[in-house]
Amino acid sequence: MKKIYFVNCLILFLFLSTLLKAANHTGLWVVRHALQTEQDIKQIIDTAGRLKITTLYIQVYALGQSYWDSEYLTESKNADVSHGLLTRLIHDAHKKNLSVYAWINVFYIWGSEKAPVQAKHPFNFFNHSILCIDPEPGLPDYNYLKKTGNEGFYIDPVDKNYLNRMMLTIKELLLLYDFDGLHFDYFRYPRGKFLHSISGRTDFMLKNYFDPLELTRPNDPIKTEKKRAFLAEIYNSFLYANINNFLSSIRKANPGKIVSIAVKPNRYMASAQYKQDWKYWLENDLCDQVMLMNYDTDFDQFKRNIKSAEMNNGCKEKIIIGISVYNQSSDAVIQRIKYLEQYPAGGIAYFSYNYLQENPVYIEALIRGLR
């Protein structure tokens, strides 16, 4: 009887310890431009200490370029210097009991009207897999992309060569640096009807024997409304599978590393518009955490996003609430943090360190308000 009691107490202790560890998670995004010198390392870690940060998200891959001298990717300028800074930052952060995640922008690969000059940049190397506008041929116009609310050009998640390059990149990254986890951003499709590419259409037609662009022709007399809905569901499932299968592959290839993903905060919109079915990811252990980018300045919308997450679905300790500092006052941030006390998620994360670095008064206000 005593043995059973002891075992039950041990299980309860481990369970509560896990929840406590999750609830104490406080993250800080660090955009790559903030890490240029040895002094920057000290400032990042000092700021993390003052704000009681537990986890740093360090951007190492963005706009199709790596922050280090990669064998597989186009590297950014001063990659040799960056390599040393990353190594030192992780070492010093670990001495302060800070976890460090590698922040990787996955499918958003370019954000300029002018194409990159490097031949192996994904914009050039995987040009056939850049997502296009239905039903227009050719690459989308950058200015039009911006008008539709998109950041720029995205790679189609169906391209297995690009996915293989990313898998090799992740392996290389974890061999070079002692990161505690992987944090994926832009792990999704873009906004709107940018859901096909040359390679994606080819792959889908070989598997399903119809062109997905046919779904953009509403006056096609051959298809009844019922048949059109059936075909649309097949294509939709194809899009979800491209994202989900890649995430599953990452998970299996990197045991022992935390896998975190930045997601749209409203789970219904995230799934329907961006194919981020993050409720499915959590329930099926495809990742350890999702971070809701709950950056809306409207407090009522912020609260609606929290409620849509359904914190009581058994995965609440895996949900990190992202809070922006760049577009709202410190009082608004404090208001949000205090509101979250009634919705005990896995923690919070500030976006971003770079804004706080430029506005030290903001840091002081946060410290005072959260005492």
Q: What is the pLDDT of residue 218?
A: 66
Q: What is the DSSP letter of 139?
A: P
| Residue-level pLDDT at 78 | 64
d(CA 295, CA 122): 29
The pair of structure tokens assigned to 312 is 């009581």
Q: Which residue has the higher pLDDT, 254 or 71?
A: 254
Lowest mean pLDDT among 11-20, 51-60, 203-212, 309-318: 11-20
Taking CA atoms, 134 is separated from 177, 193, 195, in Å, by: 41, 6, 7
Interval 343-355: pLDDT, tens: 878 999 999 999 9
What are 180-208's pLDDT values in tens digits?
Answer: 999 999 999 998 877 889 999 999 999 99
Q: How many CA atoms lie within 13 A of 128 on its CB side?
A: 11
Q: Which two tokens stand for residue 20?
A: 């406590």
Q: Looking at the predicted structure, is the pLDDT value of residue 342 above 90? A: no
Sorted by where each begins, the domain ranges of the chain are 24-194+243-369
What's the pTM? 0.90
Please give the pLDDT value at position 107.
Answer: 98
Fold of 24-194+243-369: TIM Barrel (3.20.20)
Residues 217-241 have pLDDT tens digits of 766 655 677 888 888 899 999 999 9
Q: Which pLDDT value is given to residue 71?
A: 85
Q: Give me the pLDDT at residue 79, please.
A: 65
pLDDT at 134 over 90: no
CA neighbours closer than 13 Å in the CB half-sphere of residue 62:
16
Which residues, in sequence order, are CB contacts of 207 under 8 Å at separation 6+? Answer: 238
CA distances from 210 to 195, 207, 213, 219 (A): 15, 9, 9, 17
Q: What is the pLDDT of residues 77-113, one digit of tens each?
A: 666 567 789 999 999 999 999 999 999 999 999 999 9
- Count the helices and strands in the chain (H runs, E runs): 14, 12
**pLDDT band at 38, cuts 50/70/90?**
very high
Question: In this predicted structure, what is the pLDDT of residue 5?
Answer: 42
The pLDDT of residue 16 is above 60: no
Predicted pLDDT of residue 238 = 96
Q: What is the pLDDT of residue 18?
A: 38
In the chain, pLDDT over 90 holds for what percent of residues?
70
Using the predicted structure, report yes or no on whether residue 323 has a pLDDT greater than 80: yes
Mean pLDDT value across residues 121-139: 85
Sequence letter at residue 345: A
- Percent of the chain surpassing pLDDT 70: 89
Structure tokens at 190: 């873009």
Q: Give whole-number Cα distances, 180 to 93, 175, 241, 273, in Å.
A: 11, 12, 27, 31
- The pLDDT of 116-130, averaged and rounded, is 93
Q: Is the pLDDT of residue 126 over 90?
A: yes
* Tokens 């296009």 sit on residue: 132
What is the per-residue pLDDT across 237-285, written as a single tens digit (0 to 9) for each?
Answer: 999 999 999 999 999 999 999 999 999 999 999 999 999 999 999 999 9
Assess whether pLDDT exceeds 50 at residue 294.
Answer: yes
Residue 48 CA, distance from chain mean position: 21
Average confidence score pLDDT of the chain: 88
The band of 313, judged by pLDDT with boundaries at 50, 70 and 90, is: low
